[in-house]
Amino acid sequence: MRRLLPFILILIFAGATYYTVTHPPEVDKRNQQQVSVIAVETLSVKAAPYRVMVDSFGRVEPHTQGQLVSQVSGQITSVSPNFRDGGFFERDEVLVSVDPRDYQIHVETATAELANARVKYAEEQVLAKQAKKDRKNLINQGQLSDFALHIPQMAAAKLDIAAAEAKLEQARLNVERTRVRAPYAGRVLAKSADIGDVITANASLATIYATDRIEVRLPLKNNDLPFVDLPEPQPNGSPHSGALPRVLLDNRIGNQTEQWPATLVRTASAIDSATQQLHATARIDDPYGAKAQGRRPLKIGQYVTARIEGRLLPNALVIPNAAIYQGSYVYLFVDGVLQRRDIGIAWQNREQALISSGLEDGEQLVLTPLGQVSSGTAVKLLDAKEPQLAKRGEPR
């Protein structure tokens, strides 16, 4: 029996193998997965009018800023309630008063000197008149000199009067200067003196700026320059003759954004050597008046973003940046397959690109993000979208 056991096992294994070969398992064709075709979303590319809007940023700066200076020395005796950091003041408002008593004494002294000079001149007039009478009695005895006729003495006395008048005017002016007035309607940026301080002539009392307008200096990239009508003065000194570009400034406060209308008024005379960018200046008129209604006042040094109104292009092909791969090509839907197309980009912002070459009006641009695919890959089409991108560039 033991001798037959190996033969029995061989027969069993051979029979099992034969049965497996002759009876293969049935395949459920219903569960077979068919090769799927990629479904893509497309955009019909259409040429349409498009307003270029250039993005930039900058900080709020004063249009007019300077130092409030006392032209006389002395002790500060009083200040205006508006003379504080952030305080608003009106043109010609007295912001600081210096002790005027020393200067009032100078006025009295100059007044006395002027009176003495006038008396001296009157005396010389009397002496000159008397000298003329005496000359008539001395006609046959020779002529009198000018000095004997008091002519130079009268001239000197007259000059003394003029000098005394000027000294009195200077003394009165110094008294007036003890009341330091605002040169324009503005705001205190930072004060550097207060009541009780003893100041010298030409000492700075505060840094102030005018509130009639403020500015924002905006850097422009080299690629943006051809699409903005920059305000450039003429060589003869006349101002820019065309319409000034509009600017929208966004002031973000927490989760809220407030918009301020501004105007691009001038450009720098040179390219920034560090950034190789040209700076343009946007101006906001009356930022603390009617325009500030319902808005928080803009602060000097505050960071804002900007959208500068550029040129209106009549027939522009504009596509979303998300459809561009590696900044150089896109995919098109052509007869049920993908077609890779190299493109040229004339201008681009954070959302859109203005195409200069590679696309034609009416072609179907693939918007669906694709991985590593090649031209000729079969795809099926989802609902095609109508082009609405051209409106995105319009001013908000």
Q: Are strands 318-320 and 352-357 parallel, antiparallel or unpaired?
A: antiparallel
d(CA 310, CA 242): 13
d(CA 99, CA 175): 9
Sheet holding 329-334, edge to edge: 42-44, 364-366, 329-334, 337-342
Strand pairing partners for 39?
Answer: 380
C-beta separation of 233 from 250 below 8 A? no
Looking at residue 34, its pLDDT comes to 53
Main-chain phi, psi angles of 84, to 5 degrees: -155, 160
Segments in the chain below pLDDT 50: 27, 29, 31-32, 389-392, 394-396
What does pTM read for this prediction? Answer: 0.73
For residue 90, give both structure tokens: 């009106």
Looking at residue 396, its pLDDT comes to 37
Enter the DSSP assignment of 7. H
Q: Are strands 379-381 and 38-40 parallel, antiparallel or unpaired?
A: parallel
Looking at residue 156, its pLDDT comes to 86
Question: Which tens digit of pLDDT belongs to each residue from 42-69?
Answer: 999 999 999 999 999 999 999 999 999 9
Question: Which tens digit of pLDDT belongs to each residue from 175-231?
Answer: 999 999 999 999 999 999 999 999 999 999 999 999 999 999 999 999 999 999 998
C-beta separation of 287 from 211 below 8 A? yes
Main-chain phi, psi angles of 117, to 5 degrees: -65, -40
C-beta separation of 186 from 246 below 8 A? no
C-beta separation of 319 from 43 below 8 A? yes
Of 115, 120, 112, 130, the C-alpha closest to 153 is 120
Strands (E), 221-324: 246-253, 256-267, 278-285, 303-316, 318-320
SS3 track for 104-172:
HHHHHHHHHHHHHHHHHHHHHHHHHHHHHHHHHCCHHHCCCCCCCCCHHHHHHHHHHHHHHHHHHHHHH
